Amino acid sequence: MAALGGSVARRYAKALFEIGVAEGNYEKLGQELEDLARAYEGSSDLRLALENPVVKPSEKTAILKAVLPRVAPSPSVERFAQLLLERGRITILRGAARAYRELADARAGQVRATVTSATPLGPAELDRVRRALEARTSRKVLIQTAVDPALIGGVVARVGDLVLDGSVRTQLEEMRHRLLN
Amino acid sequence: MSVLTLLADSAPAPEVHSPQLIDVDGTVFVQLGLFLLLAVVLTKLLWKPYLRVRAERVSRVDGYRKDAVQMEADAAARLERAEAQLAEARRVGSGDRVAARAEAQAREQTLLAEAHAEAQRALAVMRAHPPGQRGHDRARAHHRERPRPGRPGCPPHPGPGSVTMKRTLRLSFFGLAMGLFLLLAVPAARAEEEIHGGVGTARTDTAAEHVEEEHGEHEEGPPSIDPKKLGLQILNFGVLVFILVKFGGGAMNKMLRGRHEQLKADLASAAELRAAAEAKLKKQEARLASLEHEIADMRRSLKAEAEAEKVRLIAAAEERAARIKAETAFLIEQQVRDADQRLRRESADAALKIAEEILKRSIGAADQQKLVDTFVGDVERAPAARSI
């Protein structure tokens, strides 16, 4: 279901992205879509109201219209959100935002990477890691950082579907496998 | 009229001038003698043989039936005896089988107990040191087989009713004919003798005088037979015989033929009955003759089956014991392997836990820097970086 949902979300995202490209504001639309998805994921009341089948469609539309001007004033994003609501696809909003971002990054020739370390990395270290990843992917890399003490030491970088693991935790696990086998 | 009365009346008969219907004189003794002679002859030649043939016929039919009943009883008794012997043989054979089975089961228990004990020992050792189934009847049967009239194996009676009866009837008719001949021939010879050479000469007196004289002379002489009268009597007898034969012969023949057929049917039925009983008796005799072999075969077969079952049970027990041993060995091996893996896992976990604690305590900023350098170098040098 998740894969199917991802595929559907990518289709909707691609449609909106093409509109944005045509209008020349795909970056703005992408940011508004990102904000709308974050607001939707962050408010359980909003999710319950829009996903509850007891609530009438007209009421759902009214709620959505009340929220949209604050986070996504563009008419394209507003129509996009209303279309998802009318077709019962509002739950794919988060996936659509992610797919839209990937499309936008691909168009801009960049890729997003998540770098996780046991302790926070300094700017120089992050820069070295970014340059290494750009050399590895041949694209401009936008880094997001995260800290996970369970790694003990080292770095884990996730670029799209690619995972580059240089953590001490993973090395200990590999050592454990060798001992057992 | 008794003989004494006749003797008393043998004095000169009263003279009458009219012809007498019954003329009793001395010839009555001759007739009486002839009658007795005829009775003796007929009794000897006809009556007694007839009675004998009749008795033989009755006894033959009854004898056949009696033989049949006797043979049926004999056959039933032999069958019962044979069944009893077979049942006994089966009982003995079954006992052998039970004994063999018990022996096999005991052996099976022993084998399994040994296998279990060995398995328990091995498991204990492993746990203690972790690596981690008839003669008189045949004689009697043989005795019964001796040829005996009317019994199976003997030729049937030579048909006394047919040959003897014909001979007896032939003799009886001969005697009857002889008696009739004597009755007729003696008085006729005497009359002829009187006519041709005897007492009176030819007389030509008047008829009435002659009759009276002759009456007077004849009263003292032997009686004479009038051929004409005799001829009429014979003719009368012939007519009687003709009437009897004409109107009674058919019925008599029919009755005799029916009786003959009935006798034949009875005889055939009795013979058939006896033949069936004889066949049944022979069958039982044959079975009795082979009974000893049959019993011996049965006992041999039961014993062989018992032995086979015993062998099969023991083989199955051995197989089960071997399987228990194999399963035990496999279980031990599996447990050893599990223990080994568990030990390795525990050791690895313990070592890694210790290493992790040491690393957590000892990794500093310089080490983190080296790790980042190593990561960056690996990413740059190895394009085929490990992906998860």
pLDDT in tens, B115-149: 888 888 888 887 777 655 444 444 444 444 444 44
Q: Residues for chain A: how many in total? A: 181
Q: Which residues on A lie below 8 Å from B352 (Cβ)? A: 172, 175-176
Token duo for residue B64: 């056949």
At position B379, the amino acid (one-letter code) is V
% of chain A residues with pLDDT over 90: 51
User: What residues form DSSP beta bridges with A114?
Assistant: A144, A158
pLDDT at residue B359 above 70?
yes
Cα nearest neighbour of A125 on chain B: B372
pLDDT at residue A17 above 90?
yes
CB B313 within 8 A of CB B105: yes
DSSP assigned state of A153: S
Q: What angle do CA B156, B49, B240 make, to 5 degrees?
A: 125
Highest mean pLDDT among B8-17, B279-288, B377-386: B279-288
B385 touches chain A (CB under 8 A): yes
Q: Do A152 and B363 touch (CB under 8 A)?
A: yes
Tell me how far the alpha carbon of residue B323 is from its chain's centroid: 58
Q: How far is CA A82 from CA A178, B240, B289, B339, in A?
A: 55, 150, 110, 62
pLDDT digits over A38-76, tens only?
Answer: 999 999 998 888 888 889 989 999 998 888 888 878 899
| Measured distance between the N- and C-terminal CA atoms of chain A, rounded to whole angstroms | 37
Give dist(CA B358, CA A167) in Å, integer. 15
% of chain B residues with pLDDT over 70: 68
pLDDT at residue B3 above 90?
no
DSSP assigned state of A91: G
Q: Which residues on B lie below 8 Å from A176 (Cβ)? A: 348-349, 352
Phi, psi angle pair for B333, to nearest 5°: -60, -40
pLDDT class for B27, splitting at 50, 70, 90? confident
Question: Within chain A, what is the greatest distance between any pair of CA atoms?
Answer: 63
Q: Which candidate from A119, A166, A176 shows the least CB-CB separation from B375?
A: A166
Give dist(CA B288, CA B209) in Å, integer. 99
pTM beyond 0.90? no
Give dist(CA A29, CA A74) in Å, integer. 7
Cα nearest neighbour of A165 on chain B: B386
Token duo for residue B348: 């690895």
Owner of token pair 């991802």: A6
Average pLDDT of chain A is 89
Q: Where are the beta strands (DSSP E) in chain A?
A: 110-117, 140-147, 155-159, 162-165
Q: Which residues on B lie below 8 Å from A166 (Cβ)? A: 371-372, 374-375, 378
Q: How far is CA B292 from CA A144, B82, B136, B282, B286, in A?
A: 106, 10, 11, 16, 11
Q: What angle do CA A133, A118, A113 make, to 5 degrees?
A: 25
Give dist(CA B71, CA B76) in Å, integer. 8
Q: How far is CA B130 from CA B117, B325, B336, B340, B347, in A?
A: 19, 19, 7, 9, 16
Instruction: Tell me the average pLDDT across B172-185.
Output: 57
CB-based burial, A20-43: b 16+ in 10 Å, e otherwise: beeeeebebbbbbbbebbebbeee
User: What residues form DSSP beta bridges with A111?
Assistant: A141
Candidate from B29-33, B199-203, B325-329 with smallest mean pLDDT = B199-203
Mutate to test the interface with B, among A164, A167, A175, A178 (most CBs of B within 10 A): A164
Instruction: Tell me the average pLDDT across B21-37.
Output: 84
Give dist(CA A97, CA A33) in Å, integer. 6
What is the ipTM, given to two decimal places? Answer: 0.73
Q: How far is CA B265 from CA B158, B162, B229, in A?
A: 18, 15, 50
Q: How far is CA B61 from CA A116, B48, B50, B265, in A?
A: 127, 20, 17, 10
Q: What angle do CA A166, A171, A176 make, to 5 degrees?
A: 160
Cα nearest neighbour of A154 on chain B: B371
pLDDT class for B157, splitting at 50, 70, 90? very low
The C-alpha of B377 sits at a distance from chain A's nearest C-alpha, in angstroms, of 8
Candidate from B33-37, B138-142, B175-179, B220-224 with smallest mean pLDDT = B138-142
Q: Do A157 and B379 touch (CB under 8 A)?
A: yes
pLDDT at residue B178 above 50?
yes
A180 touches chain B (CB under 8 A): yes
Q: What is the pLDDT of residue B171?
A: 58
A133 touches chain B (CB under 8 A): yes
Q: What is the pLDDT of residue A178?
A: 87
Average pLDDT of chain B is 75
Q: Which residues on B lie below 8 Å from A118 (Cβ)? A: 363, 368
Higher pLDDT, A4 or A32: A32
DSSP assigned state of A151: G
Q: What is the pLDDT of residue B204?
A: 41
Q: Residues for chain B: how many in total? A: 388
pLDDT digits over B204-239, tens only?
Answer: 444 444 444 444 444 455 567 788 889 999 999 999
Q: What is the pLDDT of residue B125?
A: 82
Mutate to test the interface with A, among B362, B371, B386 (most CBs of A within 10 A): B371
Q: Which residues on B lie below 8 Å from A132 (Cβ)? A: 375-376, 379-380
pLDDT class for B14, splitting at 50, 70, 90? low
B381 touches chain A (CB under 8 A): no
A135 touches chain B (CB under 8 A): yes
Picking from B34, B108, B86, the residue whose alpha carbon sits closest to that of residue B312 is B108
Higher pLDDT, A4 or B348: B348
Q: What is the pLDDT of residue B284?
A: 81
Q: What is the pLDDT of residue B263?
A: 84
Give dist(CA B305, CA B284) in Å, integer. 28
Token duo for residue B377: 């170098």
pLDDT digits over A144-162, tens only?
Answer: 999 999 999 999 999 888 8
CB B243 within 8 A of CB B252: no
The C-alpha of A45 sits at a distance from chain B's nearest C-alpha, in angstroms, of 36
